[in-house]
Amino acid sequence: MAEYKRFEVTHQKGVTVLRLVDAELSDLVLQDAAHEELMALVEEDKPAKLLIDFSAVQYCTTGIINSLLTTKKRIVAGGGVFKLCGLTKHVHDAFQALNLENTVFDVYKTADEALAAFAD
In this prediction, residue 28 carries a pLDDT of 78
In this prediction, residue 32 carries a pLDDT of 87
In this prediction, residue 30 carries a pLDDT of 80
What does the domain layout of the chain look like in residue ranges?
7-110
In this prediction, residue 120 carries a pLDDT of 76
Give average pLDDT by consecutive 10-residue segment, the chain, 120 residues.
85 95 82 90 94 94 91 95 96 92 94 93
Instruction: Sort 33 into a burial class: Cβ within 10 Å, 0-12 / 13-18 / 19+.
Output: middle
* Statement: 7-110 belongs to CATH 3.30.750.24: yes
DSSP 8-state symbol, 23: S
